[in-house]
Amino acid sequence: MNEERPPLTKKERMAIDRVVMPEQDPELRAINFREVNQGLTYQLALLEAQRCLECPKEYCIAGCPVSVNIPRFIRFLRDGDVAAAANSLLADNALPCVTGRVCPQETQCELVCLRGKTGEPVAIGYLERYVADWAQAHADELEHATATRTRKSVGVIGSGPAGLTAAGELVHRGHDVTIFEAFHAAGGVLIYGIPEFRLPKDIVQAEVDRLKEAGVKIEPNAIIGKTFTLPELRERFDAIFVAVGAGLPVFMNVPGENLKGVYSANEYLTRVNLMGAWNEESDTPILHGRRVAVVGGGNVAMDSVRTARRLGASESTIVYRRGREELPARIEEVHHAEAEGIEFKFQVAPVEVIGDEQGWVTGLRCIEMSLGEPDASGRRRPEPIPGSEFELPCDMVVVAIGTRANPLLTASAPDLVVNERGYLQTDAHGMTSMPGVFAGGDIVRGAATVILAMGDGKRAAGAIDAYLNGTYPPEEKPAVEPRHRSAAATA
Ligand code: FAD
Ligand code: SF4
């Protein structure tokens, strides 16, 4: 793909408008599960790459939680050397096909991109996706490192972005790696949570297959804490990485929450995505609500409300206790939802789920909220307005107000120290209170983002390698603080 082209002047680059991501027509996509964003063409990607100013001070790298060398891969792309761009990107980011689709770039690299000071920032996420998709389709043309086998073994518990990234790093360092996954399929939230229309499952599967080809073994249907305990696994492996996420649903604790037609977002999305209920031929039961209320304002809520729309809801409504500015979901997902006809009820909180004599949901009693002074999260605190209750008619409710740590694994390992919210405590390099047992991702941070989980997996792999070589603690930088707002924050 190398192409000779005269370099543009800075003025010419500044005159190029940010590309618009081609996407499926909103009316059409609201009734199918195909991916909404269609990806850039080669020509569009080259054009967008020209917009990068190659700043001497690379703000965008500082804005990326895993410090991807953004200007370097964009420069290779701009010069038409997509293979070099792909090698550069993959050296920093193990799952760029995923992050190019789901990272909240608008609050990370694109927020601080200097190009954004006079116009719109470089579409870093779109370019990342373009290069990553090219890499997945041209795997034979990429650099592949080979490692000397070390005869050391590592057990990884959980196959989400943290576990997959750690497994990839460790196998490339020559260790023997086995992932234990509770579900029948690997990928964590990428496979059971984020819907097909945002992240096609064959893309995640291709990443899992790539790891398997590199030698990673995957044991599905293995629930650690039940099938085996953590201390049992510790005896079998030289080191362990715990990356079990934080998937236990939080409920509203209002009357009527046990009525038929109320789902946790976790169950709803798992049935649809992992168990295939989005496909009409699947035999996984799922309710097709006509009027669906989804409680929450994060990505999980957006994914649920847009899924309900695609499953036939004529009214699919977000019920959120704060205002539009406080919505924690990615801006792009909010815009996509609006274009698909999703309704938003802001400054409203449920107080009761109402049902009929057969126990089926018929509505959600809500109360209006005013917004007071900012709370600890920096967002304005919602306060109920007395006497403002009203009923929102609906036949299905999805609760998407957050998740927390599942105590199943920790209960089987009394030596593991957890904090007051049940999340694992680690040192600066990711080692828990059990020697040789490391942890990262949502089970340490609480619900966060894909890229932060991947960063934890990468750093923990370096620390595990040092532990296995007898050089622990490593000289690497300690773990990134969760300074970026959680993409999955909901409340
Ligand atoms: P997970 O992805 O949760 O993976 C943990 C894995 O461990 C799972 O496969 C689970 O089955 C397995 N497991 C759990 N317990 C056990 C056990 N005892 N034994 C064996 N295996 C076990 N982030 C973004 O950056 N952008 C987004 O757009 C975005 N959208 C989201 C949408 C949804 C619906 C959800 C739920 C989250 C979203 N997030 C998003 C957040 C992001 O997906 C998570 O922060 C990330 O997946 C955490 O990665 P992880 O590897 O720590 O855990
Ligand atoms: Fe390019 Fe923006 Fe990074 Fe500057 S901050 S190097 S313009 S991507």
Q: 260 and 220, same structural domain?
A: no
Q: 69 and 14, same structural domain?
A: yes
Contact (Cβ atoms closer than 8 angstroms) between residue 105 and residue 125: yes
Q: Is any atom of ligand 2 closer than 6 Å to the C-beta of 176?
A: no
Q: 283 and 193, same structural domain?
A: no
Ligand minimally distant from the alpha carbon of residue 113 = 2
Q: Which domain holds residue 430?
A: 153-247+405-468
Contact (Cβ atoms closer than 8 angstroms) between residue 271 and residue 286: yes
Domain of residue 132, CATH code: 1.10.1060.10
Domain of residue 255, CATH code: 3.50.50.60
Q: What angle, 0 to 180 degrees and rounded to 10, lies between the N-to-C axes of helices 70-78 and 124-137?
A: 70
Q: What is the pLDDT tens value at each position of the chain, 491 positions in all?
A: 445 566 788 889 999 999 999 999 999 999 999 999 999 999 999 999 999 999 999 999 999 998 999 999 999 999 999 999 999 999 999 899 999 999 999 999 999 999 999 899 999 999 999 999 999 999 889 887 778 999 999 999 999 999 999 999 999 999 999 999 999 999 999 999 999 999 999 999 999 998 999 999 999 999 999 999 999 999 999 999 999 999 999 999 999 999 999 999 999 999 999 998 888 888 899 999 999 999 999 999 999 999 999 999 999 999 999 999 999 999 999 999 999 999 999 999 999 999 999 999 999 999 999 998 888 878 889 999 999 999 999 999 999 999 999 999 999 899 999 999 999 999 999 999 999 999 999 999 999 999 999 999 999 999 999 999 999 988 765 544 433 333 344 55
Q: 170 and 83, same structural domain?
A: no
Question: Is residue 100 assigned to a domain?
Answer: yes
- Residue ending a domain, among 373, 403, 433, is 403
- Domain count of the chain? 3
Q: How far apart are CA 398 and CA 350, in angstroms?
A: 12
Question: Is residue 480 assigned to a domain?
Answer: no
Contact (Cβ atoms closer than 8 angstroms) between residue 459 and residue 443: no
- Specify which residues 360 forms β-bridges with: 260
Q: How far apart are CA 418 and CA 396, in angstroms?
A: 36
Question: Which of 205, 86, 194 is closest to 135 using CA atoms?
Answer: 86
Question: Is residue 441 assigned to a domain?
Answer: yes
Per-residue pLDDT tens digits for 313-345:
999 999 999 999 999 999 999 999 999 999 999
Q: 277 and 356, same structural domain?
A: yes
Q: How far apart are CA 269 and CA 263, in angstroms?
A: 9
Q: 261 and 389, same structural domain?
A: yes
Per-residue pLDDT tens digits for 12-60:
999 999 999 999 999 999 999 999 999 999 999 999 999 999 999 999 9
Question: Is residue 479 assigned to a domain?
Answer: no
Residue 144, classified by CB atoms within 10 Å of its CB into exposed (0-12), middle (13-18) or buried (19+), is exposed
Q: Is any atom of ligand 2 closer than 6 Å to the C-beta of 60?
A: yes
Which residue's alpha carbon is nearest to atom 3 within ligand 2? Answer: 60
Q: Is any atom of ligand 1 closer than 6 Å to the C-beta of 247?
A: yes
H/E stretch holding 373 reads strand 361-374
Q: Is any atom of ligand 2 closer than 6 Å to the C-beta of 71?
A: yes
Please report where in the chains the tokens 């193990």 appear, as a residue. Answer: 94
Q: Is any atom of ligand 2 closer than 6 Å to the C-beta of 14?
A: no
Q: Is any atom of ligand 1 closer than 6 Å to the C-beta of 442?
A: yes
Q: Is any atom of ligand 2 closer than 6 Å to the C-beta of 194?
A: no
Question: Is residue 484 assigned to a domain?
Answer: no
Query: Probe ligand 1: pick from 129, 157, 299, max atoms within 8 Å of CB?
Result: 299
Question: Is residue 35 assigned to a domain?
Answer: yes
Q: 261 and 290, same structural domain?
A: yes
Ligand minimally distant from the alpha carbon of residue 246 = 1
Q: What angle, 0 to 180 degrees and rounded to 10, lies between the N-to-C axes of helices 82-92 and 70-78?
A: 170
**Beta strand 315-320 pairing with 291-295:** parallel
Q: 395 and 267, same structural domain?
A: yes
- Residue ending a domain, among 362, 384, 403, is 403
Q: 284 and 167, same structural domain?
A: no
The structure tokens listed for 201 are 């499952």
The distance in angstroms from the start CA to the end CA of the chain is: 47
- Residue-level pLDDT at 482: 36
Q: 387 and 321, same structural domain?
A: yes
Q: 196 and 130, same structural domain?
A: no
Q: Is any atom of ligand 2 closer than 6 Å to the C-beta of 70?
A: yes
- Residue-level pLDDT at 471: 94
Ligand minimally distant from the alpha carbon of residue 118 = 2
Question: Is residue 475 assigned to a domain?
Answer: no
Q: How far apart are CA 482 and CA 479, in angstroms?
A: 9
- Residue-level pLDDT at 477: 56
- pTM for the full model? 0.93
Q: 420 and 325, same structural domain?
A: no
Question: Is residue 489 assigned to a domain?
Answer: no
